[in-house]
Structure 1
Amino acid sequence: MYGAYRSIMETQTRTSGADVAALGLGSVLVGSLPAALLTDHAPERYTVEAVFTRRPERDEVTEILGSETRDRLARAGYPTVEVTVSDRRLEIANTNLEELRDGLAEVLANRLAEITAGVRARQDAAAVKFHDAAESEQARAAAVAALAESIAFHVSASAESSGAEHDQAAGAAKDRERIDSWRTEGGHGR
């Protein structure tokens, strides 16, 4: 339940104006690159760290690390490239700056935009479903309360007349008991 509530709150925060940008990559962390780049000893492939434009949501991280991202990279001609997420950084392994410049950066940017759109669509649908369920529950609770309030505990006319007849019958029985007790007390039969 908390996860659903959190997603709804994040959706409401985004739609109220905060954090509305799609997840993207801003820049490469130059300090994380191999020191030997552009020398004779430079590695052919290495890990490049790029900074996200904002902190990725949990669902976005799951999608980034999922099989669809690997499949998309392979179909685009980058079968050995692997991505991982480390806080606000995307670590792109088995690549190089030239490969990123020549097309890999665009493939990654498109995938991140697609992931953001898909996650937001699911969150928005969940928020609508949650809102509809809350409204339905509120209407149901109001209907139950109205039904409960419609109940009145009144004695019916037939029960009142039946009660009067019962009272008369009980009174007659008491009269007979008194009469019987007077008979046994003494004066009858002399």
Structure 2
Amino acid sequence: METQTRTSGSDTAALGLGSVLVGSLPAALMTAEAPDRYTVEAVFTRRPERDEIIGILERETRDRLAQAGYPAVDLTISDRRLEIANTNLEELRDGLGTVIADRLAEISAGVRSKRDAAAIRYQEAAAGEQARATSVVALAESVSFRTSARRGPGWDQRSTTAEDRAQVDDWTDEGGHGR
């Protein structure tokens, strides 16, 4: 039994199509009453993600199909199935299947690229925040609330300049302080 592995909640394998649901095909195929065009259901290789579904259903996909010569083809999604309307098995076999597979791979790669870029931005932001928090802690730890041993009664640090403090220190060292 094969299982799919998920990384960070998202499947890492490219989205693709596995097989046609034969049971969903018109019963009259390969008879005189067979329709020329019908809906073919194909099974995704994994459950499509929200952004992949949006990419499949967007105008860009319809434009790509039209540019490739399939303007009447319409894609819809039902659970794990891609419903390919207004086509037939021969058209899918002869080129439409490749056009759809290429578009799914492109959409899947684009979604993965956007997700990877967002993860990098998140990691960079987290690293920046960690560095900022570390700097704040270091700055806070550099603050000292110790008293100065040279202070005497009436000494006002705010009103003295460095030169005044040096003069006071000299007088204190001479022993003339407090006479």
Is the deviation greater in 58-67 or in 19-28? 19-28
Alignment partner of 1:126 out of 95, 115, 118? 118
Q: CA deviation at 1:154?
A: 2.5
Instruction: Tell me the alpha carbon deviations over residues 135-183 of structure 1, each in whole angstroms, 9 at most, x when there is no partner.
Output: 111111111111111111233457x32xx138xxxxxxxxxxxxxxxxx
Runs of 4+, deviation exceeding 2 Å: 10-14, 154-158
Question: Structure 1 residue 165 and structure 2 residue 157: aligned?
Answer: no
Higher helix share: 1
Alignment partner of 1:82 out of 74, 79, 91? 74
2:161 aligned residue: none
1:71 aligned residue: 63
Counterpart-to-counterpart distance in 1, 2:67 and 2:75: 15
Contact 1:11 1:127 in 2 (8 A): no
Q: CA deviation at 1:20?
A: 3.4
Question: So what's the TM-score if we normalise by structure 2?
Answer: 0.78
1:51 aligned residue: 43
Counterpart-to-counterpart distance in 2, 1:34 and 1:13: 38
Residue identity (%): 69
Contact 1:11 1:123 in 2 (8 A): no
Counterpart-to-counterpart distance in 2, 1:63 and 1:111: 9
Partner letter of residue 66 of structure 1?
E
Contact 1:11 1:124 in 2 (8 A): no
Q: Per the alignment, in what secondary structure is the counterpart of residue 13 of structure 2? A: coil
Counterpart-to-counterpart distance in 2, 1:156 and 1:42: 101
Q: Pairwise CA RMSD of aligned residues?
A: 1.8
Question: So what's the TM-score if we normalise by structure 1?
Answer: 0.73
Partner letter of residue 112 of structure 2?
R
1:153 aligned residue: 145
Q: Structure 1 residues 11, 131: CA separation in 2 closer, same or farther (over 3 Å shift)?
A: farther
Instruction: Tell me the alpha carbon deviations over residues 118-147 of structure 1, each in whole angstroms, 9 at most, x when there is no partner.
Output: 111111111111111111111111111111
1:24 aligned residue: 16
Question: Structure 1 residue 136 and structure 2 residue 136: aligned?
Answer: no
Which protein shows a greater Rg? 1
Alignment partner of 1:61 out of 53, 56, 65? 53
Where does the alignment leave 5 or more consecutive residues of structure 1 unmatched? 1-9, 167-190
- Whose RCO is larger (CA < 8 A, sep 6+)? 1
